[in-house]
């Protein structure tokens, strides 16, 4: 197989950028599965993650799919680069044009293949399985000096820090096109959260810690969980279309602003303090009070919330809460210092049950 390629010089090493028909990729490239035998550790790739492969496959089968990330391939010394006649290394790009000459492997014999996937095995598997006639793959290859170098490159490629979740949450509302299911579920909650942090009449204004609001002190994930809980199984569900996943964000915002403004009015000092000084702005407090909101406002449209006697409910809670000092008397045998509650599912459930009981 001869593939047009660009040879790029990196000091004494060379890498090769090329494109190839994805359905033919595994004809000359194998996946080195990690395993141990009598001689020790072999390979370096994890098994295929089926859910990940299926998600990529669904995307590839959607309209206008694109995979701009290059698959990284380690070749053995049988692969040769042939520069075009007269091609010279350009000073500005440190590269020259030519072809990669890749030898054929025996049918089905991975051990005889001249290339191994260093990064991109889930993508190559998804392309292999996808119900598409063809799909071009961008790839970058290098000539490896044995499996040890392949393994070191695999670790280096996969050790880079992933995007911070906060940045992803902030980007989601303005992102169009196909998204993984987990991100698609968070798109509407993220949009509502960004608005809560930006709107002038919001009690959360500039209080949520996001990449564009570094002075915020309430964790974005705490607010997102509160919104998600309500949106999928609480008071905000009434504004959501379960068929499309979309909803009336203005009514959601009104609902949230009405309730949390009352919270701010009831505990103005506690609301102004960071989580290390106030459990009200801590994840456990935000989520537990979110469930209180759901319990007392479910099915009530936002404009009608002021007619509810919620100030009396919050006054009852104020008699038993210990947001910044004292102790939580959660049960006869369950007493915690004010900062003894943590942002864990069990503590969120414990505080929620305690608040709902006290609010009656």
**Is the C-alpha dihedral spanning 210, 213, 219, 225 positive or negative?**
negative
| Boundary residue ending a domain (158, 184, 199) | 158
Query: Are 204 and 265 part of one and the same domain?
Result: yes
3-state helix, strand, coil in the chain (%, to 5): 45, 20, 35
Report the alpha-carbon distance of residue 278 to residue 324 in Å, rounded. 5
Q: What is the CA radius of gyration of the chain?
A: 28
Residues 133 and 54 in one domain: yes
Sign of the four-CA dihedral 134, 140, 146, 152: negative
What gap in Å lies between CA 341 and CA 348, rounded to an integer? 8
Question: What pTM was estimated for this model as a whole?
Answer: 0.68
Which parts of the chain register pLDDT below 50? 33-37, 40-46
What's the domain count of the chain?
2
pLDDT the model gives residue 160: 60
32/84 same-domain check = yes
305: Cβ contacts below 8 Å, ≥ 6 apart: 255, 258, 259, 297
Domain boundary (106, 123, 158) is at 158
Q: Do residues 195 and 331 share a domain? A: yes
Number of residues that make up the chain = 360
Under 8 Å between Cβ of 330 and 350: yes
Alpha-carbon distance values, 103 to 46, 80, 83, 220, 336 (Å): 26, 9, 17, 52, 69
**Domain end position, chosen among 136, 158, 180:** 158
Residue 45 has what pLDDT? 42
Phi-psi region of 253 (alpha: psi -120 to 50; beta: other; left: phi over 0): alpha
Give φ, ψ of 117 to 5 degrees.
-75, 125
Encoded tokens for 262:
């009352």
In three-state secondary structure terms, 305 is helix
Verify that 131 and 214 share a domain, yes or no: no
3-state secondary structure of 348: helix
Determine the pLDDT at residue 44.
Answer: 40
Residues 141, 211: one domain? no
Which of these, 278, 258, 257, lies nearest to 267 by C-alpha position? 278
Spell out the residues 6+ positions from residue 147 whose beta carbon is closer than 8 angstroms to its own.
32, 42, 43, 44
On whether both 204 and 72 belong to a single domain, the answer is no
- Using CB atoms within 10 A of its CB, is residue 357 exposed (0-12), middle (13-18) or buried (19+)? exposed
In terms of domains, do 137 and 176 share one? no
Q: Check the CA dihedral 62-64-69-74 and report its sign.
A: positive
* Cα dihedral: 251, 254, 260, 264 (round 10): 170
Q: Residue 240: which domain range?
A: 165-359
Dist CA 197 CA 216 (whole Å)? 9
Residues 116, 34 contacting (CB under 8 angstroms): no
Q: Tell me, yes or no, whether 242 and 175 share the same domain.
A: yes
Q: Are residues 254 and 304 in the same domain?
A: yes
Is there a single domain that holds both residue 132 and residue 65?
A: yes
303 and 183 both lie in a single domain: yes
Residue with tokens 């280096």: 156
At 334, phi and psi to the nearest 5?
-135, 90
In 3D space, the residue among 299, 326, 322 whose CA is nearest the CA of residue 234 turns out to be 299
């Amino acid at each position: 197989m001869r593939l047009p390629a660009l040879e790029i010089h990196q000091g004494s090493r060379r890498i090769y950028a090329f494109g190839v028909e994805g359905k033919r990729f595994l004809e000359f490239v194998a996946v080195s599965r990690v395993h141990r035998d009598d001689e020790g550790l072999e390979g370096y790739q994890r098994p295929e993650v089926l859910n990940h492969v299926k998600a990529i496959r669904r995307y590839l089968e959607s309209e206008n799919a694109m995979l701009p990330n290059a698959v990284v391939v380690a070749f053995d010394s049988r692969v040769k680069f042939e520069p075009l006649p007269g091609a010279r290394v350009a000073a500005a790009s440190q590269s020259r044009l030519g072809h990669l000459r890749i030898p054929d492997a025996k049918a089905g014999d991975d051990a005889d293949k001249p290339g191994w996937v260093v990064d991109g095995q889930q993508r190559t598997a998804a392309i292999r399985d996808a119900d598409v006639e063809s799909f071009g793959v961008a790839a970058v290859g290098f000539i490896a000096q044995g499996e040890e170098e392949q393994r070191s490159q695999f670790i280096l490629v996969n050790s880079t820090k992933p995007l911070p979740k906060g940045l992803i949450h902030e980007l989601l509302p303005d992102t169009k096109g196909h998204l993984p299911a987990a991100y698609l579920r968070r798109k509407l909650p993220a949009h509502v959260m960004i608005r809560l942090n930006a709107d002038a009449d919001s009690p959360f204004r500039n209080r949520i810690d996001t990449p564009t609001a570094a002075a915020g002190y309430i964790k974005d994930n705490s607010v997102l969980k509160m919104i998600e809980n309500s949106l999928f199984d609480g008071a905000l569900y009434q504004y959501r279309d379960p068929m499309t996943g979309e909803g009336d964000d203005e009514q959601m915002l009104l609902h949230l602003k009405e309730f949390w403004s009352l919270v701010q009015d009831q505990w103005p000092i506690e609301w102004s303090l960071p989580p290390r000084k106030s459990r009200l702005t801590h994840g456990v407090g935000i989520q537990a009070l979110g469930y209180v909101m759901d319990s007392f406002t479910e099915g009530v449209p936002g404009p009608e919330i002021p007619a509810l006697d919620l100030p009396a409910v919050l006054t009852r809670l104020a008699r038993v809460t210990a947001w910044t000092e004292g102790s939580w008397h959660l049960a006869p045998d369950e007493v915690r210092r004010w900062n003894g509650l943590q942002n864990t599912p069990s503590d969120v459930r414990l505080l929620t049950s305690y608040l709902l009981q006290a609010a009656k």
